[in-house]
Structure formats: structure tokens, C-alpha cells
Amino acid sequence: MKFTKMNGCGNEFAIFDARKRGGPLHLAPKQVQAIADPQSGSGCDQIMAIEKAEDDADAFIRIWNADGDEVSACGNGTRAVAWLLMKESGARQVSLQTRAGLLLASRAGEDQAQNLICVDMGPPKLNWEDIPLAERMDTRGIDIKVGPIDAPVLSFPGAVNMGNPHAVFFVDDIMAIAIETFGPMLEHHPLFPQGANIGFAQVRGPDEIRLRVWERGAGLTKACGTGACAALVACHRRTLCGRKARLILDGGELIIEWREADDHVLMTGPVELEYEGEIAGM
């Protein structure tokens, strides 16, 4: 089956168009892992399947993390799929159904060569049971500490659900944090019954945040769209930044705005088409 390899700020995707299959694309965890593997497959963080929508949306997106788990949301992947569909139809806006709900995406700016896509990720979920957490607590700073009790290395992250669960730690020097050590441990912390994406945010000013994310089921990636949205929301809730900021990730930059008028989070950034390939046996 043919696929399109794309990335959004370095966040890598293998995208399959399954609209002509007559039904959903079913992938076993081992198949997903093989496709995502950089040696045997495409080398990607997530796999996206474009399927026919059951409602009036332009398409339904099915999403798997590299470890084989099907997940509800992927912000950068949604922007990549939106670009493909807009390129196909010539439209400037598409509606995409996901397990996290209906998302609207549109071209940003008049210069199509920039491939800038904005997606409305909807309102963040901020109640403890919606993250979800294992117990009730204030999601502006949940009770997690790493390191000595009197001088923790990491503590009291903000918790946000952007279609998937996120915990965002606020740090002074992001490059001093051993993310490869802390990420796997925190991803499966007992407070997160469904696991969580773990963000590390260094606020550089009211409109600039440096961010790195350990993604649930994918590891440390060059960018995470829902993670960038969660970071902006978490930082604003702690009065560390405004409602709109530039998020600087390892693979590029995203503009995130948490709109006050309707509580929706908008994510804008570039996408890149890398190549088209084919996976045998699908």
C-alpha cells in the first residue's frame, strides 16, 4: 500500500490514504512498529490513515503511535493530512473527524509555497478527570516531584488534555534536563492511568517558549503539536506567558494561540512533503 512521508517541524508521519478500501484500515501493533521502524519501514513518530468520514467532515483520521497503540489526537499530523487534502481539492479549509472530535484546518497566509497550516484544536480539557488523573487535584500544578524532597529537579507540572493527556514541567534550563531518563519514567507515572505525554517548557518571555516533549508511545521527538498547545495553556494558567506565543521545538517553530473569545487553541506551522513510498503486504 502506498504512503506519503511528511513532517511538521520534524515530527515524522507515514500517511496512508484508505478512502478507497471500503472500510477502516486495521493495523496490528507489530505492523505499526514495522512501518515506523527506521530500518524496516518509513521511520516515523506516528502513522496516519485517511478514511471516509461518517458525517459531513472531509475525512476521518486514524492515528497510531510508533509503539503500536492507536491514539485520539496528533496536532502536527492533522496539519499534514489537512495539507494533502487541500492540495487535492484546491480548498483553503478542510474539516477532519478524529477520535478527539472534529477539527478544522486552513491555510495560513497567501503564500502557498510556505505550506503554513493552521488547525483549530478546540478547547483544552482542564478538569482532573478529563486528563485523566488517578485522583482529584488542581491541574495547574499536580503533585509530582522528581529528585530530593527538599530540592526536586522537577515538580508540580501543569496537566492539560488536548485530545491526549499532557503533563508540562516548567524548567529554567531545558538543555540541563535529562529527558531520556525522566521521560520514560514519568510517561507511566501512577497518576496517569492512560499514560501521558511529558513536556519540558522553558519560558523565555511572555510570547516565547522553548519546548521539548517526550511523547507517549513515541519517545523524544523533534516536535509535538498537541504538546505545544498544552505547554502554552499550562504556562498561561501559571501566568508565565500570554495567550499567544512562539513555541520553539527541536525541529522548528509553531505559533500557538489560546483564544479567549471561545476557549479554542489554534496551532499554526509549516509542513513538509518528504517522499512517497510503498509498504508491501498491506
3-state secondary structure the chain: CEEEEEEECCEEEEEEECCCCCCCCCCCHHHHHHHHCCCCCCCCCEEEEEECCCCCCCEEEEEEECCCCEECCCHHHHHHHHHHHHHHHCCCEEEEEECCEEEEEEECCCCHHHCEEEEECCCCECCHHHCCCCCCCCCCCCCCEECCCCCCCEECCEEEECCCEEEEEECCCHHHCCHHHHHHHHHCCCCCCCCCEEEEEEEEECCEEEEEEEECCCEEECCCHHHHHHHHHHHHHCCCCCCEEEEEECCEEEEEEECCCCCCEEEEEECEEEEEEECCCC
Ordered by start, the domain boundaries in the chain are: 2-122+270-278, 128-263
Neighbouring residues of 67: CB distance < 8 A, sequence distance ≥ 6? 29, 32, 33, 217, 218
2-122+270-278 and 128-263: identical CATH topology: yes
* pLDDT the model gives residue 279: 84
Half-sphere exposure of 259 (CA within 13 A, CB side): 12
Report residues of the chain scoring pLDDT below 50: none
The helix-helix angle for 75-89 and 225-237 (nearest 10°) equals 130
What are 32-82's pLDDT values in tens digits? 999 999 888 889 999 999 999 988 999 999 999 999 999 999 999 999 999
Which CATH superfamily hosts domain 128-263?
A: Diaminopimelate Epimerase; Chain A, domain 1 (3.10.310.10)
Which residues are CB-neighbours of 74 under 8 A, at least 6 positions away? 13, 46, 48, 61, 63, 225, 226
Instruction: Compute the C-alpha angle 225/227/232, nearest 5°.
Output: 100
User: Contact 56/17 with Cβ under 8 angstroms?
Assistant: no
Q: What is the pLDDT of residue 41?
A: 86
Residues annotated as part of the active site: 74, 224
What is the Rg, in whole angstroms, of the alpha carbon atoms belonging to the chain? 18
**Sign (positive or negative) of CA dihedral 258, 81, 161, 202:** negative
Whole-structure pTM value = 0.94
Question: Could you confirm whether domain 2-122+270-278 is CATH 3.10.180.10?
Answer: no
Query: Per the structure block, which three cell numbers stand in for 161?
Result: 488534555
CB atoms within 10 A of CB 146: 16
Residue with cell 484546518: 105
Are the CB atoms for 226 and 193 separated by under 8 Å? Answer: no
